[in-house]
Amino acid sequence: MELPRWNCCGTVHALAKDDVMHHLAPVRVLLRVEETVEAGLVDEPRVVTLCAMCYNTLKRANHLYRNDSDKRRVIESIMEKESRPYGGKAEVIHLLELLKELGWEKVAKRVEKPLEGLKIAPYYGCLLLRPRGFGVDDPEEPRIMENLLEALGAEVVDIPFKSRCCGAYHTVFMKEEAAELSYKILRQASEMGADVVALSCPLCMFNMADRQGLIGRLFRDFKGIPVLYFTQLMALAFGLEEEAHLDENNPDPRPLLRERGLWR
């Protein structure tokens, strides 16, 4: 179920050691998780994220809160108007980790329309893997997205730039420089034979998909390549076409999927 109450995590973990204020937003979310258990709505204090940035901020704030008693006290005192202090019990996991826990065979069993013949380049970006100690998988040799895509019946294309930065927030004030970073990743995926790119971060999605118009204007050789959220590929393979919301992607992946016999 969706958390009844939640707020924006702040998108980035505050790295400066004396910056406690910016940990409040993620800690507040973690408290909501405990409250949801208390209200009897869920059994376990686990929160699943689909976004690499939420995953990172929540997980790092949780770690800090549990391990730094001084900061914990400060955060508690600022949050005194809450029902009670956060108990440090919430567990933050990414949907990919949950799927791995359930088992890839189980995922494969749910597949109704295997993504056969579709060559997919998984793209992790930064925060799904880094910093070391806070990722969903080994930061240098990740396999988790590959395993999922294989369970969905797709062919995985392993690109060297799969965990290279897409340009992140530089898309705001340095959009051409950010576009160049994304261009290099997308071009590599195309050159290595991928039909589409799969990812798990809304900011990567914007830079690598929505910015393809800009990329095309800057780099004349760029032909464009569909980019899908990994959950959209799951929906497609599970036969939940409507839930995949492919009409919202830009560029539109449907013509290519139709060519591969994966779209009506």
Partner 1 sequence: MPLGSGETLRLSEKLKPFRERVKELSGEDVGLCYQCGACSSGCPLTDEMDLLPSTVMRMVQLGVEEVLNSKTIWICSSCFTCQVRCPRGIDVANVMEALRQLVLRRKYDRVSIDVLPPEELRELPQIALVSCQRKLTG
Interacting residues with partner 1 (CB under 8 A): 8, 10-12, 14-19, 22, 51, 53, 126-127, 129-132, 139-140, 163-165, 167-174, 177, 181, 202-203, 206, 210
Q: Is the peptide bond prior to 251 cis by the omega test (within 30 degrees of 0)?
A: yes
Q: CB-wise, 89 or 170, nearer to partner 1? A: 170
Q: Tell me which residue of 196, 219, 193 sits closest to 209, measured CA to CA.
A: 196
Q: Tell me which residue of 148, 163, 157 sits closest to 119, measured CA to CA.
A: 157
Handedness of CA 130, 142, 186, 112 (dihedral sign): negative
Can you read off the two tokens belonging to residue 123? 């793209």
Where do we find the tokens 């790119």? 197
Query: At its nearest, how many Å lie between partner 1 and the CB of residue 165?
Result: 4
Query: At its nearest, how many Å lie between partner 1 and the CB of residue 10?
Result: 7
Query: At its nearest, how many Å lie between partner 1 and the CB of residue 168?
Result: 5
Query: At its nearest, how many Å lie between partner 1 and the CB of residue 72?
Result: 16
What is the spatial distance between Cα 253 and Cα 62, in angstroms, rounded to a whole number?
37
Q: CB-wise, 245 or 258, nearer to partner 1? A: 245
Q: CB-wise, 43 or 141, nearer to partner 1? A: 141
134 contacts 213 by C-beta, under 8 angstroms: no
Please give, one letter per residue, the 3-state secondary structure of 97-113: HHHHHHCHHHHHHHCCC
Amino acid at position 113, single letter: K
Query: At its nearest, how many Å lie between partner 1 and the CB of residue 203?
Result: 5
